[in-house]
Structure 1
Amino acid sequence: MLRTPSAVRDAERYTAHNYHPLPVVVSSAEGAWLTDVDGRRYLDCLAGYSALNFGHRHPALIRAAHEQLDRLTLTSRAFIHDQFADFCRELAALCGKDLVLPMNTGAEAVETGIKVARKWGYQVKKVAPGQANIIVADGNFHGRTTTIVSFSTDDDARADFGPYTPGFTVVPYGDLAALEAAIDENTVAVLLEPIQGEQGVVLPPEGYLPGVRRACTDRNVLFIADEIQSGLGRTGRTFACDHEGVVPDMYLLGKALGGGIVPVSAVAADADVLGVLRPGQHGSTFGGNPLACAVGTEVVRLLATGEFQRRSAELGERLRAGLEGLLGSGLVAVRVRGLWAGVDIDPALMTGRQACERLMDRGVLAKDTHGSTIRLAPPLVITSDEIDHAVAQLAAVLAG
């Protein structure tokens, strides 16, 4: 008897319905492959929204976690542990920044960035008390806390969660003139995703990110890059900003930083920005814990070799070629940067959800968003043959 139907029913019965998962129940995984409770294997083309950039159970990351589990897992930040300095130093070096503030989830990193930017605005830029403002882009996805959804333009994320937090101005993504016009004496930061993942892997217009960098520099405003999904090798460079030679004032990192093992996030910036914080003004019991730091340090060392960035860039071109070959055969648009793709299916053919269900039936797991768009973000350990397999299965779905 198959175990999947009853496991799905139990999950639906005892869980708040804040997700609409595909009816697959995973029991084990390795590399780019998942196995469900009935023994069926699936090619993972989502990678935990980029949290699994290094694949499932990467040997070096598992080894680091096991070794740390046998020694020490938590101290709180009331004390210093022996993994903390290495993690912060090596991550700061990877980012080219002075300091790192470790947290747990991506949303915590974003909230931290907002707090730091406001404090910097009051202490350094001398914005009038209570007037700090941050510019964000429409179509953004930075998390789901009450503050973050206050500047979301996605009604599903925002509706019925008010009253909303003030202090944000929303401008169209990719519209540099609108962004420049929105900056005033109370603007402390511009917060952007270099590539909008949840929106469907939407790439910025050429020259947009350098223009944002210039505007922020000229007007004494912090440029905060949310690289939680786009960073750490996903796009073929360490950071998505690297594609246009842009260095933000602050990186927000997460997802892949925990190696698919533990939640790890971080804010990286220079001392003149992160240095505004003083003891007692911000923190987290689990932020920068020994287990997180041990795994995070190994993640940074994997990235320091450049191997995963190269794989993402090279295999991403293969993915691009395969997907673009389906334009006109069920796909109406393809956007690819490294091993990250958004594909728009002809809405007359099927929805994104229907496409993902049919891919699941063919042993490939992906995720839909915004109607007829699906996102592909396989682990960076995927092979060229596996990419070809995923594209072939999508072609078969589109062909009916």
Structure 2
Amino acid sequence: MSLTGPSPITLATLRQAPKAVLHDHLDGGLRPATILELAAACGYDKLPAQDPESLRKWFSESANSGSLVRYLETFDHTVAVMQTPEGLHRVAYECVEDFADDGVVYAEVRFAPEQHLEAGLTLDEVVQHTLDGFAAGEKAVAATGRRIRVVCLLTAMRHAARSREIAELAVRFRDAGVVGFDIAGAEAGYPPSRHLDAFEYLSANTMRFTIHAGEAFGLPSIHEAVAFCGADRLGHGVRIIDDIEVADDGDATLGRVANYVRDQRIPLEMCPTSNLQTGAVASLAEHPFGQLARLRFRVTVNTDNRLMGDTTMSNEMLALVETFGYGWSDLERFTINAMKSSFIHFPERLDLIDNLIKPGYAVLIG
């Protein structure tokens, strides 16, 4: 433990902090060099740039359009190179490496198996190759003396009609590394209640699930997700702020939905950089994270899409520190929020909190 007080909060020291991420898309976190190599291997010739740095910049600039629809279009290229066993395995493996290099000790990574069938793989094969990549990545990290736990959420696309099938797939792999289910995609016109049969199946099989809600659409999306679908967590959930009135003196009055979300400790998977890129918030200073944290909602910090956001967990934390003035104790609280909200079993959660997260922050707090 430091005898000189807290370590300064910089990008370098943040990388040393043990972190937990609940909301990260596998197809949104590829290395540009890997995209180029996989594209060459599978014959994909539609990439907008032909060198890693130019490709990185293209993804970042395209994702900064302020439109969720255009933001989602960038995934056409990443998904295209994740159609083979080799592509899925490599992307999953490198995801684990990249998280470990950034100090992440726990990650729930999500992807939509239904989008990876173009080369003839079955849904089960897609999931198995991905899980094998995660396992190999964990083993490689362990060989360097570090520890990381990476598990998987299976996502169904909200505009498609395969959510029940993907829910069954998640339950089928629940003891092999899949810990939950999600629906994602454009919110407007595709309410979560369209997928009630999937959520009822998951509940009947005691499987946890999160729902993208309150990002590009408003409070009704959040209400449906928690009241009708029974979501364990909310992906983004920024529009919960629409149900909170703040007086000039700072006093806050919560509406029924906001009170329910806070009372039930429903976690909010907040992704500051992504929310800014998609137009869910106008600026980081206006991001509801600060107000929600002050009101003791269970806020968590997440990356969403590391490639499109040109970001890492350390970058996300630094942005919050610079915007809201947080210190190490705040970052520790947000990290423990994430671990408490994770979909792994309680003993493993407790182990990571007690043996990695608390000791890691104790060193930084001094």
Please, what TM-score do these two structures have when normalized by structure 1?
0.27
The structure having more radius of gyration, on CA atoms, is 1
